[in-house]
Structure 1
């Protein structure tokens, strides 16, 4: 299980990226929302979509949940 966070600030394309706790691109504490502990990024992205419908996995730490 890993802790996951969503970036409160959208990317240029409108995506709110989901990061795990170890990601080198984890946003500053003021710019992220804690999602919870999950066994996969798919669960974390689903949780993020409750607040940010356009959520996506980080290409670096959650690549299997990253879409173009």
Structure 2
């Protein structure tokens, strides 16, 4: 089921011309997750000239002063 959903999602993202901005939510506490790297690479590979990609970091408030 996961593979089917993933295939459907990537197909949808590649053919929907109305999508102008991809916002990728990334947990600021876990910056080097493989799933985030893969998502970024795959989305950037799909981008058309009229589309943009934005990484938005979440849970920044959970970091201690040294991590910020």
TM-score (norm 1): 0.31
Higher strand share: 1
TM-score (norm 2): 0.31
The answer to which structure, 1 or 2, has the higher relative contact order (CA under 8 A, 6+ apart) is 2
Higher helix share: 2
